[in-house]
Structure 1
Amino acid sequence: MAGFYGVFNFGEIVLEMVDVGLPWPVLFATGTILCQLVGSALVISNFAGYGWIGSAMLIVFTLLTIPVGHPFWKFSEPQRTQEFHIALEHITVIGGLMMSMLLSGRKR
């Protein structure tokens, strides 16, 4: 859903890239949306057995969002705890994507 949201709210995604201090915000916003859309499509379809690549794309993306978008160690309370909870949620998503990655390569 995030990829589709980004397509229809591109300006907002660009502003998010600016807010976290990334250079070339339009490029990073485009890459973010493409990663979310392509990765999700590969996971859902497991096209030609490449679902694991979609999972890997989303794992790397989600892992990178922690230090870039949610660096909880840089904040004071209560924002530190809020960002820490988001980071933990991201780690649980990564765990699910790891399972998806393993299962998409299994022979049926």
Structure 2
Amino acid sequence: MPCAIAVILESRAFDILARVLLTLVFWSAGIGKLVDVSAGAAEMEGFGLTPGWAFNAATLTLQIGASLLIILDRWTWLATGALAVFTLLTIPIAHPFWAKEGEAAFRDLTVALEHVSVIGGLAVFAILSRSAMRRRLWG
């Protein structure tokens, strides 16, 4: 690996940037639900989740809270696991491609596959985070 790339990959700034980018989809959605609570509640009710305000509050708390834990490098195993489970659950709730036809089915399938990729990224991050912690603790 070129030395310049190694320096970037080992820098604290790049580590933080990667954490922010990994969680961008979650914390930005959570902030949106916080800024417009009524729209977030309506979105939840549109998916059949009632009361919408309660599901909105739980969702934004998870999205923002778990993102912050990952960005701050605290309890990353819990935060990545919670976001992975949440992301997996959104597929049957919000993107049931198997129940649709044509373009709508294709759009939801594409989103579902993107969700599975995000889950993979969260899993890789949890593995790397654990490896980094082991190195800090045991050299």
TM-score range, shorter chain: over 0.9
Runs (5+) with no aligned partner, structure 1: none
The runs of 4+ residues in structure 1 deviating greater than 4 Å are: none
1:20 aligns with 2:20: no
What TM-score comes out, normalization by structure 1 length?
Answer: 0.93
| Aligned counterparts, 1:53-68, within 5 A | 53-68=78-93
Runs (5+) with no aligned partner, structure 2: 1-27
RMSD: 1.0
* Larger relative contact order (Cα-Cα within 8 Å, sequence gap ≥ 6): 1
Looking at CA atoms only, which structure, 1 or 2, has the larger radius of gyration?
A: 2
Percent of residue pairs identical:
36
| Structure-1 separation of matches of 2:110 and 2:118 | 13
Counterpart of 2:62 in structure 1: which amino acid?
Answer: C
Give the number of equivalent residue pairs.
106
What TM-score comes out, normalization by structure 2 length?
Answer: 0.73
Counterpart of 1:42 in structure 2: which amino acid?
Answer: L
Shift of 1:23: 2.1
Match of 2:68 in 1: 41
Post-superposition Cα deviations, 1:37-77, rounded to whole Å, max 9, x if no partner, equal 11101111112xx1111101100110000001101111111
Match of 1:100 in 2: 125
Counterpart of 2:101 in structure 1: which amino acid?
Answer: S
1:8 aligns with 2:13: no
| Structure-2 separation of matches of 1:29 and 1:5 | 11
Counterpart of 1:29 in structure 2: which amino acid?
Answer: N
Q: Of Structure 1 and Structure 2, which has the larger fraction of its residues in helix? A: 2
Match of 1:78 in 2: 103
Please say if residues 52 and 101 of structure 1, whose CA atoms lie closer than 8 Å, have aligned partners that are also in contact: yes
Counterpart of 2:128 in structure 1: which amino acid?
Answer: L
Paired residue secondary structure (2:50): coil
